[in-house]
């Protein structure tokens, strides 16, 4: 099998077989992938991955010594030939074994490379769907971890302390995280197509669509994990996505992700804005979609096994059924078990009050996650949910989505007293410590979500004007160097700074002052309870057509 990798190397073109020899090599490789012996299938899966991916190491001197950086290159010819020979089906069968001894990790890595390939990615996804790959990957994504999830943190900590001889349990957790990470990446790639998203919804939303491995658990293991209620598969996947216990917080990759968010202080945006990462924004957002989850088989970025679920959620939110699942209200009631006596009618009414939430509301905190994949996916999800015009009022007044979106655009700039009028204090209380979202794709999704809210109707525009949305967008646009994001911000400004007839500028300022001045004069304390205090300012006496900041 090693001969396949060396023969297909792009660096040694002189040793590459020609004509029929190449076809023979790939046909033999495909036969080994279909072999009945597990050791042959594992060797074939390893050889397939080695054929697709070639790695090279480069060392760079640093203060601490020499650091080696590994870069990978994809063999386009190998990807095309493997796709033509329909290697997806045997690779899916090997990946479904859930055993690294049978080559499951190599098979998952090879499938990830093929499904994200620029040339053969679409055909690979079609073959993947024909092989029932979505169901297979859901089985892996919802497979039981080696030990109860409550012990994951302690296992990871012990493994990091004893790097020379990691425990068997720590190694099992590492393999499990790697398998789940690849499975979720494959689900993200597959759901980029309409057929893949429909397949995921069809397998995930019915109540009976639970992973079969949960029903095969023994009594002892079931008692260790506790009783599980029967839930839709999508709900189970979301619960794992939101559970931080699965993340290996002791890994170096996690530390780098956290450092990337906190190393750059917010004031750096004003002094020197690094736009090196913005050059590829046009390529990333041609279709306003996330790029394929191009997993690097040689990397160690699997500390967060469910990071790519964010892209899955974003993709299914493009369909009406997916948005309905995210926006559907989940009712829960508080039951007091302490009082056994009969309650009065008023007390019963009080106890029967239910609290309503939704899956979308549980996803909002992920906008501040240190993981870039999570932030990108959830930002795109919020944008897609804004296409549901019937839910705009609920999104603005119950979910307060505009606040979550604007917090990602808010920076460390010091606001004047006039700018703070009517503005939520959360935007400016952190002061210089507030860090604006560093990723341009996240900023693009957030700005487009705000644009969809503004374009949904007059009431939505009036609400956003009263909440001083313009102040945050104006300051964000002043330091924005990506043209596409800046254009979207300009479109938002056009909605905010004009009245409904399009003849008057600065109307949003007057509305904000009128609303909060009126609120302060209300004598009813209940009505004033939720209002922000109006700072002392002379701007309230400004003329009707005078713009307080002279910026349109």
Quick one: average pLDDT of 437-456? 95
pLDDT beyond 50 at 254: yes
185: three-class secondary structure by DSSP: helix
Strands 65-74 and 329-333: unpaired
- Measured between its terminal Cα atoms, the distance across the chain in Å is 67
pLDDT beyond 90 at 452: yes
pLDDT beyond 70 at 516: no
**Residues contacting residue 172 through CB under 8 Å, at least 6 positions apart:** 146, 147
499 within 8 A of 455, measured Cβ to Cβ:
no
Name the more confident of 343 and 232: 232
Quick one: average pLDDT of 526-546? 40
Q: What pLDDT sits at residue 330?
A: 81
pLDDT beyond 80 at 505: no
At residue 11, what are phi and psi to the nearest 5 degrees?
A: -80, -35
**For 424-435, how does the pLDDT look when each residue is reduced to its tens digit (9 = 90+)?**
899 888 888 888
Cα distances from 307 to residues 56, 141, 185, 197, in angstroms, run: 27, 11, 8, 18
**For 465-483, how does the pLDDT look when each residue is reduced to its tens digit (9 = 90+)?**
999 999 999 999 999 989 9
pLDDT beyond 50 at 210: no
Quick one: average pLDDT of 151-162? 64
473: three-class secondary structure by DSSP: helix
Which residue in 189, 129, 133 sits closest to 373, CA to CA?
189
**Residues contacting residue 281 through CB under 8 Å, at least 6 positions apart:** 440, 441, 444, 482, 484, 485
Average pLDDT value for the chain: 75
60: three-class secondary structure by DSSP: strand
Measure the CA–CA gap between 368 and 377, rounded to whole angstroms: 12
Most confident of 52-56, 124-128, 525-529: 124-128
Name the more confident of 166 and 147: 147
Which residue in 235, 210, 232 sits closest to 363, CA to CA?
235
pLDDT beyond 50 at 350: no
Q: Say how many C-beta atoms besides its own lie within 10 A of residue 12's C-beta.
A: 10
Share of the chain above pLDDT 70, in %: 64
pLDDT beyond 80 at 89: yes
101 within 8 A of 38, measured Cβ to Cβ:
yes
Confidence of residue 288 (pLDDT cuts 50, 70, 90): very low
pLDDT beyond 50 at 545: no
Q: What pLDDT sits at residue 164?
A: 53
Q: What pLDDT sits at residue 336?
A: 44
459 within 8 A of 415, measured Cβ to Cβ:
no
Q: What pLDDT sits at residue 156?
A: 65
Q: Tokens 């736009």 correspond to what residue? A: 275
Tokens of 203: 């397998």
Q: What pLDDT sits at residue 132?
A: 93
Name the more confident of 162 and 287: 162
**For 3-56, how does the pLDDT look when each residue is reduced to its tens digit (9 = 90+)?**
443 333 334 444 455 556 888 889 999 999 999 999 999 999 999 999 998 755
How are the residues of the chain apportioned to helix, strand and coil, as percentages rounded to the nearest 5? 60, 5, 35
284 within 8 A of 291, measured Cβ to Cβ:
yes
Residue ranges matching CATH 1.25.10 in the chain: 322-332+355-541
Name the more confident of 442 and 549: 442
pLDDT beyond 80 at 160: no
Q: Say how many C-beta atoms besides its own lie within 10 A of residue 3's C-beta.
A: 10
Q: What pLDDT sits at residue 204?
A: 75
Please check whether the domain covering 322-332+355-541 is classified as CATH 1.10.10. no
Q: Tokens 């979207």 correspond to what residue? A: 488
Strand runs (DSSP E) across 22-64, as ranges?
A: 53-62
Phi-psi region of 357 (alpha: psi -120 to 50; beta: other; left: phi over 0): beta
Q: What pLDDT sits at residue 215?
A: 43
Confidence of residue 397 (pLDDT cuts 50, 70, 90): very high
DSSP 533: P
58: three-class secondary structure by DSSP: strand
pLDDT beyond 50 at 523: no
Quick one: average pLDDT of 328-342? 56
Measure the CA–CA gap between 327 and 324, rounded to whole angstroms: 5
CA 438 to chain CA centroid, Å, is 15
Which residue in 37, 122, 137 sits closest to 92, CA to CA?
137
Lowest mean pLDDT among 102-111, 419-428, 441-450: 419-428
230 within 8 A of 207, measured Cβ to Cβ:
yes
pLDDT beyond 60 at 504: no
Most confident of 56-70, 87-101, 121-135, 224-238: 121-135
Q: What pLDDT sits at residue 518?
A: 55
Which residue in 371, 309, 305 sits closest to 173, CA to CA?
305
Measure the CA–CA gap between 265 and 441, rounded to whole angstroms: 20
């Amino acid at each position: 099998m090693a001969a396949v990798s060396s023969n297909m190397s792009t660096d040694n073109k002189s040793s590459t077989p020609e004509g029929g020899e190449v076809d023979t090599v790939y046909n033999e490789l495909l036969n080994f992938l279909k072999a009945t012996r597990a050791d042959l299938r594992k060797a074939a899966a390893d050889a397939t991955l080695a054929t697709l991916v070639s790695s090279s190491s480069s060392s760079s001197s640093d203060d601490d010594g020499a650091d080696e950086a590994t870069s990978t290159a994809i063999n386009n010819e190998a990807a095309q030939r493997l796709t033509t020979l329909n290697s997806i089906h045997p690779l899916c069968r090997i990946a479904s074994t859930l055993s690294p001894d049978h080559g499951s990790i190599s098979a998952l890595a090879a499938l990830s490379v093929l499904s994200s390939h620029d040339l053969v990615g679409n055909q690979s996804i079609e073959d993947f769907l024909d092989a029932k790959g979505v169901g297979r990957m859901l089985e892996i994504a919802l497979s039981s971890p080696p030990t109860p999830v409550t012990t994951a943190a302690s296992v990871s900590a012990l493994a990091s302390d004893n790097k020379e001889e990691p425990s068997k349990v720590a190694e099992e957790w590492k393999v499990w995280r790697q398998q789940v990470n690849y499975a979720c990446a494959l689900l993200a790639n597959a759901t980029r197509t309409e057929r893949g998203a429909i397949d995921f919804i069809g397998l995930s939303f019915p109540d009976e669509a639970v992973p079969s491995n949960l029903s095969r658990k023994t009594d002892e293991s079931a008692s260790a994990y506790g009783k599980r209620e029967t839930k839709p598969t999508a709900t189970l996947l979301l619960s794992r996505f939101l559970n931080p216990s699965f993340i290996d917080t002791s890994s170096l990759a996690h530390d780098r992700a956290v450092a990337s968010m906190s190393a750059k202080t917010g004031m750096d945006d004003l002094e020197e804005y690094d736009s090196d990462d913005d050059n590829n924004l046009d390529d990333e957002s041609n279709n306003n979609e996330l790029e394929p989850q191009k997993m690097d088989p040689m990397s160690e970025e699997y500390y967060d096994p469910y990071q790519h679920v964010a892209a899955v959620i974003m993709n299914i939110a493009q369909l009406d059924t997916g948005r309905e699942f995210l926006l559907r209200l989940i009712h829960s009631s508080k039951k007091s078990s302490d009082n056994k006596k009969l309650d009065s009618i008023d007390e019963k009414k009080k106890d029967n009050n239910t609290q309503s939430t939704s899956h979308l509301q549980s996803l909002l905190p992920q906008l501040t996650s240190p993981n870039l994949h999570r932030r990108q996916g959830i930002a795109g999800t919020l944008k897609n949910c804004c296409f549901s015009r019937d839910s705009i009022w609920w999104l603005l007044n119950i979910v307060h989505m505009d606040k979550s979106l604007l917090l990602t655009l808010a920076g460390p700039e010091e606001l004047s007293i006039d700018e703070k009028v009517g503005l939520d204090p959360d935007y400016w209380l952190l002061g210089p410590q507030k860090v604006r979202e560093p990723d341009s794709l996240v900023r693009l999704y957030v700005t487009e979500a705000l644009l969809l809210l503004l374009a949904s109707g007059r009431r939505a525009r009036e609400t956003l004007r009263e909440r001083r949305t313009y102040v945050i967008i104006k300051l964000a646009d002043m330091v924005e160097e990506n043209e596409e994001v800046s254009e979207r911000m300009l479109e938002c400004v056009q909605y905010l700074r004009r009245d409904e007839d399009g003849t008057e500028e600065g109307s949003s300022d007057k509305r904000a002052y009128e609303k909060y001045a009126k609120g302060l004069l209300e004598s009813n304390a209940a009505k004033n309870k939720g209002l922000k205090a109006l700072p002392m300012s002379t701007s309230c006496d400004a003329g009707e057509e005078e713009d307080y900041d002279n910026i349109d």
